[in-house]
Chains A and B, each alone.
Chain A
Amino acid sequence: DIQMTQSPSSVSASLGDRVTINCRASQDISTWLAWYQQKPGKAPKLLIYAASTLQFGVPSRFSGSGSGTDFSLTISSLQPEDFATYYCQQAHSFPPAFGGGTKVEIK
């Protein structure tokens, strides 16, 4: 099974900051990677799929990059509504697996 490892587990940042979250797969998944955002008490929301394709309606300050085993999610200028937990997920093969999550907190 493919394992997904996210870093850091949490990050403190201020409004307007650039934030980058990393995700590493235990084997090559090409660009079969998704990023989800989850706010407290809410369901996850798909932000990015195929490593870098923004889901419809997602603000352009979000971007994804990477291929193979190393990926990143970048928020170019942190907004109040971006404080949440972010998860990566490999979609390359069964079973699909999530990373452990990265909580973006207010500094």
Chain B
Amino acid sequence: EVLLLESGGKLVPPGGSLRLSCAASGFTFSTHAMSWVRQAPGRGLEWVSTISSGGGSTYYADSVKGRLTVSRDNSKDTLYLQMNTLRPEDTAVYYCAKGSTWYLVDWGQGTLVTVSS
């Protein structure tokens, strides 16, 4: 069974930083692209970032480019999202998802990031 467990979400002030983690199990992590998708309270889904299976290619939404950085440690089966210069509009539940091409096949339960003073 595929399991994706996000952690690291919390309340941070505007301009602050945070690192989210996503621990994966139940599949061969190193052979799958992984993505982050977020959902602001009461809003729809927004794709944030994707990283290739080996980590050599990364992709970002324009809204987060230059502030959020995706990475992975295939030896630890873990995906990360480093979030810098956070803004109130970054407030959302952040989901990690296992991908196949651009399809998002399996999702974690999400972790809430709140950016507020």
Interface on B for A, CB 8 Å cutoff?
Answer: 37, 44-47, 50, 59, 61-62, 95, 101-110
Cβ of A49 under 8 Å from chain B: yes
Complex-state Cα separation, A100 to B44, whole angstroms: 6
Main secondary structure of the interface of B (DSSP, over half): strand
Question: Taking CB as reference atom, which chain B residue is nearest A44?
Answer: B107
Q: Are B47 and A95 in contact (CB under 8 A)?
A: yes
Q: Which residues of A contact B110 (CB under 8 A)?
A: 43
6 smallest CB-CB distances across A and B, nearest first, come from A91-B102, A43-B107, A96-B102, A98-B45, A101-B44, A49-B103
Q: Are A96 and B95 in contact (CB under 8 A)?
A: no
Which of A42, A91, A95, A97 gathers the greatest number of chain B CB atoms within 10 Å?
A95
Complex-state Cα separation, A33 to B62, whole angstroms: 22
Q: Looking at chain A, what size class is its interface with the partner chain?
A: 20 to 34
Interface on A for B, CB 8 Å cutoff?
Answer: 32, 34, 36, 38, 42-46, 49, 55, 87, 89-101
Q: Which residues of B contact A49 (CB under 8 A)?
A: 103
Q: Are A95 and B61 in contact (CB under 8 A)?
A: yes
Q: Are A96 and B47 in contact (CB under 8 A)?
A: yes
Nearest CB of chain A from residue B10's CB, rounded to whole Å: 19
Q: Which residues of B contact A100 (CB under 8 A)?
A: 44
Candidates B45, B59, B105, B109; contact of A95 at CB < 8 Å:
B59
Question: Taking CB as reference atom, which chain B residue is nearest A56?
Answer: B105
